[in-house]
Amino acid sequence: MRCLIDTHVALFMWVSPEKLSNRVRVLLENKANEIYFSQVSVWEITLKYGLKKLRLPISPDLYIPDRLKKLDLTYTPLTNEAIYGVLGLPEIHRDPFDRLLISTALDLGIPLISRDPFIQQYPLQVLW
């Protein structure tokens, strides 16, 4: 199975795996699954780190690539299709990062792993 992870899911994996649901933990641990990590999350983590709203043991430019490699996550860059796709989304959620992740998952045709109740209202498969 191919899935995209929401930014908070990546942070839970890295820092607080006990916050993941059992279903998600099993899904993420199964090496047969391909788990995607979006450039959108790189931007969100870096922004929050710079604003001192997120603590990491080292700066994001070192931390994120290390985590991607250690956890064998597939990096996916932000595409114009995903950016333009935001225009077609209903106005349920105002968070631009989440809207871009939703659009990315729709563009890739894969489920999004998230516990965000707003995301679960969009027309895509959400796993938690």
> CA 81 to CA 126: how far, in whole Å?
20
The CATH number that domain 2-127 falls under is 3.40.50.1010
Instruction: Please check whether residue 98 is in contact with residue 115, taking contact to mean a CB–CB distance below 8 angstroms.
Output: no
Is the separation of the CB atoms in 2 and 33 below 8 Å? yes
Give me the residue spans of the domains in the chain. Answer: 2-127
pLDDT in tens, 31-66: 999 999 999 999 999 999 999 999 999 999 999 999
pTM: 0.94
Tokens describing residue 109: 């045709």
* Band (2; pLDDT cuts 50, 70, 90): very high
Q: Give me the mean pLDDT over the 117-125 stretch.
A: 96
Whole-number pLDDT of residue 95: 96
Instruction: Please report the DSSP string for 22-65 in residue order.
Output: HHHHHHHH-TTSEEEEEHHHHHHHHHHHHTTSS--SS-HHHHHH
pLDDT digits (tens, 9 = 90+) for 75-116: 999 999 999 999 999 999 899 999 999 999 999 999 999 999
